[in-house]
Structure 1
Amino acid sequence: MNQPKYLAIKDDIKNKIVSNVYTLDSKIPSEMDLRDEYNVSRHTIRQAISELVKEGYLIKIHGSGTYVSDGHSKKSSKKMKTIGVVTTYLSDYIFPSIIRGIEKELSRHQYSLMLASTQNNVESERENLEKMLEHEVDGLIIEPTKSNLLNPNLNYYLDILEEEIPLLMLHASYEELDTPFITMDDEGAGRIATNHLLDLGHEKIAIITKSDDSQGKKRLKGYIEALHTAGMSYENDHVIFFDTENRHEIPKKINDLVNSDNPPTGIICYNDQIAISAIQQIQSLGLKIPGDISIVSHDDSFLSTSFPGVALTTIEHPKEEMGKRAAQWIINSIENPEFNRKPIVFPSELIIRNSTKSLNKTEKVVE
């Protein structure tokens, strides 16, 4: 049986490395030059190079080229595998709990953690992806940056997939890529939050949602579906959009909404941070929560019970459990070739506290 072309090319390049035709740290010919040299397709060359990268004979530096590495000798003595974790933020809100869940599970299996954050900035995402690839991490858990927008870094993700590095997306995924993910049921969360207010007799329900992350789009979809099922109309002036760069404008938008000719009796907030900002703005106008306006939030963070007199009704987020499950998924992907790399979706559940009020005469607000 004939050897596949890419394996023959791989062996030939490896021999050139071992015999110092290609010396340590030197740049090998480009994929196009190798294609012409071996008279094969570029895909075949990429297969050969990918195998040599896996074995540690080569290292790819994005934007520069492919270089000879001594990683093959290091890999044999490497005891601990490293998982790269890239989240939008690290030290605030729900992220420490998620990272703690990842770290505990990785440590339990003698894996190390390489951590980075993007601040939801695509340039920072690119830099962190380059660092992770240069470090030759064994797997990646990545929270997408501005997942609702076209991403300029898709080529890095395609390289990750081509090199068969296990990859799990956190909270969302890029529609352009077929990558496994671990998320909340955000569409379901939008429905549940809206239905809660509908069940309490609210007919004028607003939503504050994020336009540059897909979680915001999915929650908006759930909101629209719940209104439609209840026979309610979607009103443009009851939807406040924000993104990473203009979230500071939210208080003014809330002020305009509450003082409009069509004020809501209930508001669904993208997360607990936005909910607290909304409460502060509404109270500054002399209105009460939930007496005048009910608030439903997402994430059940520490903020949900931190505001004096108002405990948020909010969609629960599994936080540490999500981190643990993400780590288990990536470990299984590395250690078990038969592992089914299917997505994980946590069901949405509502925690009812005292930030929502019934407008039905027979109902009372939760104390």
Structure 2
Amino acid sequence: MSNVLDGMKGLAWSSEATSQPKYEQLRNYVVSQIESGGIKAGAALPSENKLAEALHVARSTIRQAFAVLEQDGLIYRVHGKGTFVHDEARQRSRKGQDLLALIVPETDSAFYPSLQRSFERAAAKLYNQVIVCNTNSDIDKQASAILQLIDLRVAGVAIVPTPSPITPAFHIRQLQQHGIPVVCCSRPVAGAHTPLLAIPFEEVGRRAGEAIRQAGHRSVAYFCLGRSIASAAYEKGFRESIGPKASISVVVANCGSTDYDALQEESGEELEELFRRDDPPTAIFCSFDSLAEWVYLQLLKLGLRVPQDVSVVGFGGTVRGGGFASQLASVTIDEVGLGTQAIELLTKMRHGELAIDANESRNLTLSFWEGSSLGPCSSK
């Protein structure tokens, strides 16, 4: 530690009016010493008090410099022991070595693959690398992933929180307490203070309801995956736009979006029950495209034509691809913009342009994909 302190005593402060603040000069000096090998990986740094005294600056200057270095993943603090240079600080200080993380509930359906691609592309433009963590909507897996990301000292995290059970605030605070900025995507985490890129859930339901109502449907159904804040908001917007005169059946599938066997079985049973009624639905709104695809398939198995007998409307991303996705009528969000904006916000927080606990919120842009699964209500 004495060698580190002796080296820092040689730091010459710039006094020009256009020069950087002293905390930035100190931060840059430490980075240059890490890159040159003057300060070794694992080295203990002097305390804030000792540095402030040796460099003849305010302790707040040292604190600011350390905060930026910690946020960059170059140093870390151990309570009661001190501040240390990270083992990978030399690699991380070089352009292109910052590691960002994306935490999602699944990676193989709906809009998540294109969200992942857009996040990776936006990160690559800034010479950052990306690690993707798939939680399968399991809150324990999410907690484990967060602990591993803290251990890796990632530079920032974008997270689509688990909806049920609801992600607790301490999951987010653990990251922030280690100087790791977080952006919440899709939905907020109650009690956590982070920027939010939000899906306007009620508006999604409203858009779906408007399209179905305009097609003349008055006997309708709403299918969702589990009970959550999002599914309740979809239903609220859907009911408001479909109108009080419509008959609405609500079906809740109590399985995960990637549990395909259970999803197929549940959707099949519920549809059989609905179409045994005297007044079955002529249109179905599903809270997610993956669920809408299974409903579509089950309707065909029942001998029903889509959209001649029953219309289906889903919700997903603007990147539709081929197969069912291109055929399915859906309310869509700009998932490409979601990935790009997440990188933008993380970059601002990492550079100190936005507070790590900022409550900035942006609603994602919605549109409607016509597809071919929504048609006029057939006369009976």
Q: Is the CA contact 2:224–2:286 (under 8 Å) kept in the aligned structure 1?
A: yes
> Could you list the runs of 5+ residues in structure 1 that have no partner in the other structure?
1-23, 27-46, 61-65, 362-367
Q: Given the superposition, is the C-alpha separation of residues 359 and 156 from structure 1 closer, same or farther in structure 2, using an over 3 Å criterion? A: closer
In the other structure, the counterpart of 2:165 is 149
CA shift for structure 1 position 344: 2.1
In the other structure, the counterpart of 1:343 is 361
Q: Given the superposition, is the C-alpha separation of residues 81 and 255 from structure 1 closer, same or farther in structure 2, using an over 3 Å criterion? A: same
Paired residues for 1:231-310 under 5 Å: 231-232=244-245, 235=248, 237-244=249-256, 247-248=263-264, 249-300=266-317, 306-307=323-324
In the other structure, the counterpart of 2:241 is 226
User: Which 10-residue stretch deviates more, 349-358 or 184-193?
Assistant: 349-358
Q: Given the superposition, is the C-alpha separation of residues 329 and 188 from structure 1 closer, same or farther in structure 2, using an over 3 Å criterion? A: same
TM-score (normalizing by structure 1): 0.73
In the other structure, the counterpart of 1:321 is 337
Q: Is the CA contact 2:200–2:363 (under 8 Å) kept in the aligned structure 1?
A: yes
Q: Given the superposition, is the C-alpha separation of residues 286 and 303 from structure 1 closer, same or farther in structure 2, using an over 3 Å criterion? A: farther
In the other structure, the counterpart of 2:59 is none
Give CA deviations for 1:173-212 in whole Å, capped at 9, x if unaligned. Answer: 2234333221322211101101111111111111111225
Q: Given the superposition, is the C-alpha separation of residues 234 and 306 from structure 1 closer, same or farther in structure 2, using an over 3 Å criterion? A: same
Q: Is the CA contact 1:148–1:214 (under 8 Å) kept in the aligned structure 2?
A: no
Q: Distance in 2 between matches of 1:213 and 1:172?
A: 11
Q: Given the superposition, is the C-alpha separation of residues 121 and 296 from structure 1 closer, same or farther in structure 2, using an over 3 Å criterion? A: same
Question: Is 1:105 aligned to residue 117 of structure 2?
Answer: no
Q: What is the CA RMSD across the aligned residues, in angstroms?
A: 3.3
Length, aligned pairs only: 306
Q: Distance in 2 between matches of 1:148 and 1:67?
A: 39
Which secondary structure state, in structure 1, belongs to the residue aligned with residue 223 of structure 2?
strand
Out of 115, 121, 138, the residue aligned to residue 132 of structure 2 is 115
Q: Distance in 2 between matches of 1:105 and 1:353?
A: 29
Q: Distance in 2 between matches of 1:226 and 1:144?
A: 28
Q: Given the superposition, is the C-alpha separation of residues 92 and 240 from structure 1 closer, same or farther in structure 2, using an over 3 Å criterion? A: closer
Q: Given the superposition, is the C-alpha separation of residues 57 and 161 from structure 1 closer, same or farther in structure 2, using an over 3 Å criterion? A: closer
Q: Distance in 2 between matches of 1:360 and 1:73?
A: 67
Question: Is 1:354 aligned to residue 366 of structure 2?
Answer: no
Which secondary structure state, in structure 2, belongs to the residue aligned with residue 174 of structure 1?
coil
Question: Is 1:175 aligned to residue 187 of structure 2?
Answer: no
Q: Distance in 2 between matches of 1:107 and 1:243?
A: 35
Q: Distance in 2 between matches of 1:120 and 1:306?
A: 25
Q: Is the CA contact 1:89–1:95 (under 8 Å) kept in the aligned structure 2?
A: yes
Q: Given the superposition, is the C-alpha separation of residues 106 and 87 from structure 1 closer, same or farther in structure 2, using an over 3 Å criterion? A: same
TM-score (normalizing by structure 2): 0.70
In the other structure, the counterpart of 1:332 is 348
Q: Distance in 2 between matches of 1:25 and 1:220?
A: 56
CA shift for structure 1 position 68: 6.4
Q: Distance in 2 between matches of 1:70 and 1:319?
A: 39
In the other structure, the counterpart of 1:131 is 148
Letter in 1 for 2:85: G
